[in-house]
Amino acid sequence: MAQKTLIEAVTDALHHEMAQDDRVVVFGEDVGRKGGVFGATAGLQEAYGTERCFDTPLSECGIIGTAVGMAVYGMRPVAEIQFLDFIYPAFDQIVSEAAKMRYRSGGEYTCPLVIRSPYGGGIRGGHYHSQSSEAYFCHTPGLKVVVPSTPADTKGLLIASIRDEDPVMFLEPKRSYRSLKGEVPEGEHYVPLGVGRVAREGTDVTVVAYGAMVPIVEKAAEKAAELGKSVEIIDPRTLVPLDEELILESVRKTGRCVVVYEAPKTCGFGAEIAAIVAEKAIGHLEGPVVRVAGFDTPFPYSLEHLYMPDVRRVLKGIQRTFEW
Amino acid sequence: MAQKTLIEAVTDALHHEMAQDDRVVVFGEDVGRKGGVFGATAGLQEAYGTERCFDTPLSECGIIGTAVGMAVYGMRPVAEIQFLDFIYPAFDQIVSEAAKMRYRSGGEYTCPLVIRSPYGGGIRGGHYHSQSSEAYFCHTPGLKVVVPSTPADTKGLLIASIRDEDPVMFLEPKRSYRSLKGEVPEGEHYVPLGVGRVAREGTDVTVVAYGAMVPIVEKAAEKAAELGKSVEIIDPRTLVPLDEELILESVRKTGRCVVVYEAPKTCGFGAEIAAIVAEKAIGHLEGPVVRVAGFDTPFPYSLEHLYMPDVRRVLKGIQRTFEW
Amino acid sequence: MTTSELLTIIEKDGRAAKGKDPNLSADDLRRLHRTMLAARILDERGLALQRQGRIGFYLQALGQEASHVGSAFAMRDSDWFFPAYRQPGIPILRGVSYDDIVCEWYGNDGDTSKGRQMPVHYSFRQANFVSISSPIGTQISQAAGAGMAARIRGDDTVFMTYFGDGGTSSNDFHSGLNFAGVFKAPVVFVCENNHWAISVPLKGQTASDSMAAKAHAYGMPGVRVDGNDVLAVYRVCKEAVERARKGEGPTLVETVTYRMGSHSSSDDASRYRDAEEYESWKQRDPIERFERYLENKKLFDPADKQALVDGIKAEINEAIKRAEARPRPALETLFEDVFMNPTPQLRAQRDELLALEGPESDDVGEFPL
Amino acid sequence: MTTSELLTIIEKDGRAAKGKDPNLSADDLRRLHRTMLAARILDERGLALQRQGRIGFYLQALGQEASHVGSAFAMRDSDWFFPAYRQPGIPILRGVSYDDIVCEWYGNDGDTSKGRQMPVHYSFRQANFVSISSPIGTQISQAAGAGMAARIRGDDTVFMTYFGDGGTSSNDFHSGLNFAGVFKAPVVFVCENNHWAISVPLKGQTASDSMAAKAHAYGMPGVRVDGNDVLAVYRVCKEAVERARKGEGPTLVETVTYRMGSHSSSDDASRYRDAEEYESWKQRDPIERFERYLENKKLFDPADKQALVDGIKAEINEAIKRAEARPRPALETLFEDVFMNPTPQLRAQRDELLALEGPESDDVGEFPL
Ligand SMILES: Cc1ncc(C[n+]2csc(CCOP(=O)(O)OP(=O)(O)O)c2C)c(N)n1
Ligand SMILES: Cc1ncc(C[n+]2csc(CCOP(=O)(O)OP(=O)(O)O)c2C)c(N)n1
Ligand SMILES: [Mg+2]
Ligand SMILES: [Mg+2]
């Protein structure tokens, strides 16, 4: 297996699907000749032509509106939104149209499309190039939401998303784009949506984390081990559909739960995990369910390193589950 | 005090504020001559002229974009979005602009505006005239989110929202517009944001509910009383800022907590309440924290009565907190 | 590329303007007439049922029959529609049964969309009539996208999308026409300018001279046509459809017409608009106008009209009777079609609901818009 | 209301076209020149600091100095700007200090916006220069709204908003111009058409003949002007500002110019555009062109240029030195300005963070766009 960065895994998956299914088209701002501002679509236009990989006008509304139309007509559009912070002009098409097409038409029309977008902080992108808005999409019935944390999962989950019969939000942890390298299977590699993974086994406390928070939590787990606490890390991989059982099983075992996410704390996806645990594993809890998250402020520039959950905040969160 | 319906209380508050502050302007689709599709703005154009109460083109993006500009320039715009389901074309202006103006400018520019919108089901409005999307806004730092449940609160909270120095989402339970009547103080009536209320005192279980769910929960509480369970109902009134202490105090007293909301369950505001309880009152819990919510489907038309939390589902939720 | 003139064909006396008659066959002309009439009768019945409390909501196309039937008639059966909510004649033209239409009003178990949407928000897959949604304008950029897809695949499908004067203010009007212009998508954008968006009159919607003029901003032709003249609408759209099919790109067609009724069963137009305006448009009724043309051509005799109307009415009434006898969709359907396969969470929610005992809550309220 | 012609004033030889010279005073002309030059030098220093790793990001207006300085010069001090991110000359023109500008790049405790945004996203209240945001186009409808507000209040403030060719595709371009047209808002919409939106060339943005042509869709005049000709830009905008102030409504001005640099410090334009295009535009450099005009008028001697440049550079370098000596904003500022008063939740989060021990995480990564 080849070592690839997370962003190379994205490119790999796109190549693989474009080669095997000519309904797959890739478009967005700067994805053609430039190959994307991060390079995720590099080489696709050369390989598959300007009809199947092309630049659009500067309108997220138009990108997703046309993607919905293409999907309804039978294509497999993979639209790139340059930064997740810029997805809001398309919000109506996503939540009112893509998410509801199948339901509102009684299954007559469907909308199999993938919206890829880099999300999250840690690249000094400041206010408008750092947001994590996965919770908006998780709260919208009809959307699947995928957040890979490793290069291999990135490839396998992106392939599964493109083949999915429903709209998928595929959120790529841009902080890990180049900082994370790992083995990625060549050729076919399919990681089904809805199946989480145990990123690290442990016995004392469960930490649920996804995307760019997984490597941070892994570091914190090492530290915690030094302090005598055994951390189990659950990476759900897909937030919708959620592998609830995997999380509950772990919490029932450890009796403790921390959720780590970089979005603003209030109403973030971690609230959902905490609520599930409080409803279904309450009898096993030996401490409070703790959320370590972004603060309830817009994303800052100069103080980004204080805003984002880091090892010391994760450790503090773990520690709090032992105090009650 | 006069008896008023909830929607009359809206009109009352708008009249009151327009009369005493000429920076207050009211606009949106059909709010002028027609007085709004529900009649909330009836009489305002006659009273204050077409400059201060006017119809706009059919663009929520434009309504909120211009409202932001007005607020930045020093007005107090009160924009109506005809149905909350139609707010998404304005989502970018709300989350990227209104919510962030103060923060991103270091406090140099502010955005004191109110976005009023009828939300929720129960009027046979089907798929696109019934949604409850408060969680999106609660998850957006920089927005306040208000959901009144009684006519008096509607007036007092709307007045407080208009006077607030920050953007406020004012979500009106349309199901209660005419079905709910109550005493509303004449003239000045101010209910501060961030202070919840105990809608009913009880000792066995806390039910948190807001907006149109409060009357449903009140009915359920009556039934529960017949069955020997004493229900305390907490109506937070404002979801952001949240009167967390009021909820926690009640849960610490009763040891049980149910949250009722009509939005889709996953990542709804009830998840936040559950997460707070699981973090801060875990030691007092004597049962699971239960959410009674809309299902994780888009809003249906024919089966609306099954989709929305009703008395029997609330009772079932209450019952579940006693089983663990 | 003219935008200021207004193309008209059928003159006051029922004759076609010189050299402009599209010379449709007698069968085609009768079909146009019958479809417009059926649309109008359907609308009458729909509103009546709403007034009687038998269905929850209704929304008519009264006065706009020529606009949507004439334009749709320019399409092939394999072409696609991305409609708004005021084109009831299109499903009729495409052979959708009254049963399918009426069951949607009732949201019963015969509804092709399983009771998910309010009345008149049809979805008819077999007719290439894409699911109607309430948010204004969203279909516009979707039609552009479908057109782009057809181009990529080399299909010769043409797409027609409808929206009102209010719809031109939407985000999707702008992005849809812009994308279609850039990618030369085979799309005909039909703006049915009926002068009102609920209570907002045209001049409150835009300061533009016309809706057709907006086409220039996207590098495409814009054409204004008398929307109450079914032949003029047909002719303009036929040309636009042919341009699209030949790969010459999109067209914006503005059909100038009038909303003869209130916005919907929840609205009362008399509260915000003048009776004279209505009266002046009543003189230009599209069906009567077309009947004069047909009479001239000896294809229609006013004496036969009642029988024609009664026949259509009877068919619709039969469909209504059958629809009223059908039950609501089954409880389980609530959880279907969120995704192709339900998630574990959805299955659990369904099971919870199925397990509940006691009386269901009652239907509440009435639809206010 | 012409849209196809391109107004130019300064001819190749530096003379003003007959009858078109706005005849500005010598002081005004020198101020225009100095401001454009300062903007360019500021941009040079900014990019250099980014390349040296001393600031995180930079974005130049290279080649577009005439476009924004000329237009802004048509405004009164009490008028307001809703800018995009490529108008560094406006704060300079309005007397904002280099310290204020440079501190923003560093996001230090002297930054008027408290280190909340990336470099060049200024907010200068005292200059009526509204906080810049990254999402393309959002300022456009805001400017329309501010204009509506001024009309309602009877103020004679005029508003100018800037956006690029890419910005014309945004939702807010459409709604902003539409609202401004309907409400006759006193706004000048300046589209700086620099031919590129990152790597997307003009023809990939719209099929429209011009950006100015889009004005017709909103019932307002659209004017195209040579954006590298500071006098032409000034003249066109002056007229537009006066129309606005007289209550005659908005204007769309398209300044035809060129992005001489890459999109930003994260971009490399050589990967997607041809050197010849760049070379041809280099011949039309707006500052050199204006200098020829000044020379003709005996207001400028090339021999003095270096001293002028050195003077500005020295001022900027001093400001940089001072900015580098300043610390980051205090930790507490993270929680300020979310609302006027922090919520209990925010206070608790702040206290939690203050109570933490151990090393903070390091800054990570680099800005990729
Ligand atoms: C995005 C959005 N905003 C508001 C509404 C409420 N609404 C329904 S129809 C309508 C007016 C539509 O006017 P127009 O586009 O001219 O179509 P017409 O009804 O005249 O056919 C409005 C405002 C909506 N459905 N969607
Ligand atoms: C809504 C949105 N989408 C995408 C981006 C990323 N982006 C930043 S600048 C830019 C190109 C802007 O082009 P143009 O409007 O022509 O302005 P210019 O940079 O040429 O001055 C893009 C796509 C953004 N900032 N906002
Ligand atoms: Mg209309
Ligand atoms: Mg540009």
| Same domain membership, residue C345 and residue C320 | no
Q: How far apart are CA C327 and CA C329, in angstroms?
A: 6
Q: Are strands B290-294 and C159-164 parallel, antiparallel or unpaired?
A: unpaired
pLDDT band of D119, cuts 50, 70, 90? very high
pLDDT digits (tens, 9 = 90+) for B66-78: 999 999 999 999 9
Q: How far is CA B216 from CA A308, B114, C81, D169, in A?
A: 40, 27, 42, 46
| Same domain membership, residue C349 and residue C223 | no
Q: Which residues, in sequence order, are CB contacts of B5 under 8 Å at separation 6+?
A: B151, B177, B178, B180, B181
For A298-321, the three-class secondary structure string (H helix, E strand, C coil) is CCCCCCHHHHCCCHHHHHHHHHHC
Which token pair is B75? 């007005």
Q: Is the pLDDT of residue D217 over 50?
A: yes
| Interface contact B70-D125, CB threshold 8 A | no
User: CB-side exposure of B193: number of CA atoms within 13 Å?
Assistant: 27
Atom of ligand 2 nearest to the CA of D163: 15
C173, C178, C206 ranked by CB distance to D206: nearest: C178
Q: For position B46, what pLDDT does the model report?
A: 98
- Which portions of chain A are predicted below pLDDT 70? none
Side chain identity at C30, as an amino acid letter? R
Ligand nearest to the CA of residue A127, numbered in listed order: 2
Mean pLDDT of chain B: 97
pLDDT digits (tens, 9 = 90+) for D157-178: 999 999 999 999 999 999 999 9
| Same domain membership, residue C357 and residue C238 | no
| Interface contact A124-D133, CB threshold 8 A | no
Task: For CA atoms C26, C30, C31, C32, give the dihedral sign.
Answer: positive
Q: State if residue C198 touches ligand 1 by the CB under 6 angstroms criterion.
A: yes
Q: Averaged over B6-30, what is the pLDDT?
A: 98
B89, B270, B282 ranked by CB distance to A324: nearest: B282
Q: For position C310, what pLDDT does the model report?
A: 98
Read out DSSP for C173-199? HHHHHHHHHHHT--EEEEEEE-SEETT
- Contacts with D104 from chain A: Cβ below 8 Å: none
D121 catalytic? Reply is no
Task: For CA atoms D353, D354, D358, D360, give the dihedral sign.
Answer: positive
Question: Which CATH number goes with the domain that contains D296?
Answer: 3.40.50.970
Q: For position C362, what pLDDT does the model report?
A: 60
For ligand 2, the distance from its centroid to the CA atom of residue A58, given in whole angstroms, is 7
Distance of alpha carbon B177 from its chain centroid, rounded? Answer: 12
Q: Is the pLDDT of residue B284 over 80?
A: yes
Task: Give residue D345's domain range.
Answer: 331-366
- Which portions of chain C are predicted below pLDDT 50? 1-2
Query: Taking CA C234 as the corner, what is the angle to CA C229 and CA C235, rounded to the nearest 5 degrees?
Result: 100
Which token pair is B220? 């359920």
Read out DSSP for A88-107? GGGHHIIIIIITTHHHHTTT
| Same domain membership, residue D362 and residue D290 | no
| Interface contact B279-A288, CB threshold 8 A | yes
Q: Chains that contact B by 3+ CB pairs under 8 Å?
A: A, C, D
What does pTM read for this prediction?
0.98
| Same domain membership, residue D127 and residue D254 | yes
Q: Is the pLDDT of residue B290 over 90?
A: yes
Residue C3 forms part of a structural domain: no
Q: How far apart are CA D121 and CA A65, in angstroms?
A: 30
CATH architecture designation of domain A2-184: 3-Layer(aba) Sandwich (3.40)
Domain with CATH 3.40.50.920 in chain A: 197-322
Which token pair is A164? 């999915």
Which token pair is A52? 């199947």
Q: For position C366, what pLDDT does the model report?
A: 52
Q: State if residue C136 touches ligand 1 by the CB under 6 angstroms criterion.
A: yes
> DSSP strand E in chain B: where?
2-5, 24-28, 53-55, 76-80, 114-119, 144-146, 168-173, 181-184, 197-200, 205-209, 231-235, 238-240, 257-264, 290-294
Distance of alpha carbon A146 from its chain centroid, rounded? Answer: 4
Residue D7 forms part of a structural domain: no
pLDDT band of D330, cuts 50, 70, 90? very high
Q: Are strands A2-5 and A181-184 parallel, antiparallel or unpaired?
A: antiparallel
Atom of ligand 2 nearest to the CA of D135: 26
CATH topology of domain B197-322: Rossmann fold (3.40.50)
Q: Is the pLDDT of residue B19 over 50?
A: yes
Q: For position C1, what pLDDT does the model report?
A: 42
| Same domain membership, residue C237 and residue C92 | yes
Q: How far apart are CA A310 and CA B4, in angstroms?
A: 52
Task: For CA atoms C213, C216, C218, C222, give the dihedral sign.
Answer: positive
Side chain identity at B317, as an amino acid letter? G
Mean pLDDT of chain D: 96
Cis status of the peptide bond prior to A241, with omega within 30 of 0: yes
| Interface contact B136-A138, CB threshold 8 A | no
| Same domain membership, residue D192 and residue D335 | no
Which token pair is D353? 């963070």
Q: For position C359, what pLDDT does the model report?
A: 72
| Interface contact C365-B303, CB threshold 8 A | no
Residue C230 forms part of a structural domain: yes
Q: For position C2, what pLDDT does the model report?
A: 44
Read out DSSP for C118-182? -TT---BGGGTB----SSTTHHHHHHHHHHHHHHHHT----EEEEEETGGGGSHHHHHHHHHHHH
Which token pair is D7? 């107004």
Q: Chains that contact D by 3+ CB pairs under 8 Å?
A: A, B, C
Q: Is the pLDDT of residue D363 over 70?
A: no
Query: D256, D224 in Cβ contact below 8 A?
Result: yes
For ligand 1, the distance from its centroid to the CA atom of residue C185, given in whole angstroms, is 25
Query: B251, B281 in Cβ contact below 8 A?
Result: yes
Active site residues of A: 129
| Interface contact D141-B108, CB threshold 8 A | no
| Same domain membership, residue D257 and residue D108 | yes
Q: How far apart are CA C280 and CA C264, in angstroms?
A: 21
Residue D114 forms part of a structural domain: yes
| Same domain membership, residue C45 and residue C137 | yes
Q: For position D366, what pLDDT does the model report?
A: 52
Q: How far apart are CA D281 and CA D228, in angstroms?
A: 9
Q: Is the pLDDT of residue D1 over 80?
A: no
Q: Averaged over B176-196, what is the pLDDT?
A: 97
Q: Which residues, in sequence order, are CB contacts of D336 under 8 Å at separation 6+?
A: B107, D114, D342
B104, B240, B298 ranked by CB distance to A104: nearest: B298
pLDDT digits (tens, 9 = 90+) for B143-162: 999 999 999 999 999 999 99
Helices (H), chain C: 26-51, 65-72, 89-93, 98-106, 138-153, 171-183, 230-245, 275-282, 286-296, 305-324, 344-355
Domain with CATH 3.40.50.970 in chain B: 2-184
The protein residue whose alpha carbon is closest to atom 21 in ligand 1 is: C164
Burial C117-149 (b: 16+ CB within 10 A, else e): bbbbbbbbeebbbbbbbbbbbbbbbbbbbbbbb
The protein residue whose alpha carbon is closest to atom 18 in ligand 1 is: C164
| Same domain membership, residue C212 and residue C72 | yes
Q: How far is CA B26 from CA B13, B63, B134, C10, D180, in A?
A: 12, 11, 22, 45, 17
| Same domain membership, residue D338 and residue D261 | no
For ligand 2, the distance from its centroid to the CA atom of residue D283, given in whole angstroms, is 26
Residue bearing tokens 């490597």: A215
Total number of domains constituting chain C: 2
Q: State if residue C140 touches ligand 1 by the CB under 6 angstroms criterion.
A: no
Residue D363's CB is within 10 A of a number of other CB atoms, namely 13
For ligand 1, the distance from its centroid to the CA atom of residue B87, given in whole angstroms, is 13
For ligand 1, the distance from its centroid to the CA atom of residue C365, given in whole angstroms, is 22
| Same domain membership, residue C271 and residue C226 | yes
Indicate the burial class of C270 (C-beta count within 10 angstroms; 0-12, 13-18, 19 or more).
Answer: exposed
Ligand nearest to the CA of residue A58, numbered in listed order: 2
Q: Which residues, in sequence order, are CB contacts of B147 under 8 Å at separation 6+?
A: B119, B134, B171, B173, B210, B211, B237, B238, B239
**Test mutation, A63, A87, A303, A304, chain D, max D CBs within 10 A:** A303
Q: For position D5, what pLDDT does the model report?
A: 85
Which token pair is B11? 């009109």
Atom of ligand 2 nearest to the CA of D170: 1
